[in-house]
Amino acid sequence: MLGLLFGWLGVHNLYAGHIRRGIAQFITSTIGFVLAWVGTAAIAFLLLRIGASMPLAFGPAFVPAYILGVWIWVITDLITINRDGSGVPFS
């Protein structure tokens, strides 16, 4: 359940005892989230500068790619992780 709700933050890995993996996932996801929105804002700004009448009609360009990448990571984790950080199998 943690993987589905907070998987993009790596909470499920932290809870299962995979501390390094969870921290890496948290940092990667946070940086990716910020970069996705910064990239989208930069594109909107550039479109405004060249005189586009509807820059936001272009939409958040990098956010869907970010979301897809994160969900692929989360689903892969949910399918492949079957032991906690101590090696004990999940029941």
Q: What are the tens digits of pLDDT across the range 57-73?
A: 555 666 777 778 878 88
Question: Which residue range(s) make up the domain with 21?
Answer: 2-80
Q: Please state, in angstroms and as integers, the Cα–Cα distance from residue 91 to each residue in 7, 44, 75, 84, following that order.
A: 20, 48, 19, 11
* pLDDT number for residue 17: 85
In a domain, 87, yes or no: no
Q: Please state, in angstroms and as integers, the Cα–Cα distance from residue 25 to each residue in 51, 55, 66, 85, following that order.
A: 39, 32, 13, 15
* pLDDT number for residue 73: 82
* pLDDT number for residue 58: 52
The backbone torsions φ and ψ at residue 89, rounded to the nearest 5 degrees and listed phi first, read -65, 145
In a domain, 57, yes or no: yes
For the entire predicted model, the pTM comes to 0.61
Residue 4, Cβ density class (10 Å: 0-12 exposed, 13-18 middle, ≥19 buried): exposed
Segments of the chain with pLDDT less than 70: 1-4, 52-62
Count how many domains the chain has.
Answer: 1
* pLDDT number for residue 49: 80
* pLDDT number for residue 53: 62
* pLDDT number for residue 88: 84
